[in-house]
């Protein structure tokens, strides 16, 4: 009697080595794209842009982010940490825009969430107090930065705390225009 194959059993895939990667893909550092070296797709850009803007490449039966493959091609080893896009554009895979980051560092470089009603990360209007409140997460804790009469003051306090606590992993956003505040 044949043993039954479990539904969620993973098939063994061919391991992806550095040699295989550079045989199949070439990296254009100026454009920040991977191109196929072999097969009917030779010369075309590798990968598919996903919903979040990240480029996904299928190689030897495995899916990889283009940023991971680029890091692997250039450095000869898989990244030990997450790959952070310095400018926040997940499709910009130029090497100067990629850096290693811990999960916490990578989260500091996130966009302002869509459900943010103030338009500024870490700033909210406190209805009962009738004032703007600024806060930041650091060391796994939410830190209260103060209560302010205007959103501008709260945003300045938040920006100062980001620069002090997050260093290079602060998302660079254009200055707020007075009519937006």
Count the neighbouring beta carbons within 10 Å of the beta carbon of residue 140. Answer: 6
Please tell me the distance from the alpha carbon of residue 1 to that of residue 139, in angstroms, as a whole number: 57
Strands 55-59 and 141-148 turn out to be unpaired
Count the neighbouring beta carbons within 10 Å of the beta carbon of residue 181. Answer: 13
C-alpha 111: how far from chain center: 9
pLDDT digits (tens, 9 = 90+) for 72-130: 999 999 999 999 998 889 999 999 999 999 888 887 877 777 888 888 888 999 999 89
Query: pLDDT at residue 27 above 90?
Result: yes
Phi and psi angles of residue 72, each rounded to the nearest 5 degrees, phi first: -65, -45
Which domains occur in the chain, in start order? 18-105 (3.90.75.20), 114-170 (3.30.730.10)
């Amino acid at each position: 009697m044949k043993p039954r194959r479990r539904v969620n059993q993973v098939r063994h895939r061919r391991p992806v080595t550095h040699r295989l990667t550079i045989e199949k893909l070439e990296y254009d550092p100026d454009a920040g794209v991977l191109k196929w070296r072999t097969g009917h797709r030779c010369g075309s850009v590798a990968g598919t842009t996903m919903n979040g803007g990240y480029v996904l490449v299928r190689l030897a039966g495995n899916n990889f982010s283009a940023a991971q493959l680029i890091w692997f091609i250039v450095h000869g080893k898989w990244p030990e940490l997450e790959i952070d896009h310095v400018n926040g554009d997940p499709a910009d895979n130029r090497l100067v825009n990629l850096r290693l980051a811990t999960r916490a560092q990578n989260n500091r470089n996130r966009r302002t969430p869509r459900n943010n009603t103030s338009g500024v990360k870490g700033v909210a209007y406190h209805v009962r107090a009738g004032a703007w409140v600024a806060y930041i997460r650091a060391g796994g804790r939410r830190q209260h930065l103060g209560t302010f009469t205007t959103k501008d003051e709260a945003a300045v306090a938040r920006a100062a705390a980001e620069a002090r606590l997050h260093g290079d992993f602060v998302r660079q956003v254009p200055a707020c225009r007075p009519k937006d505040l």
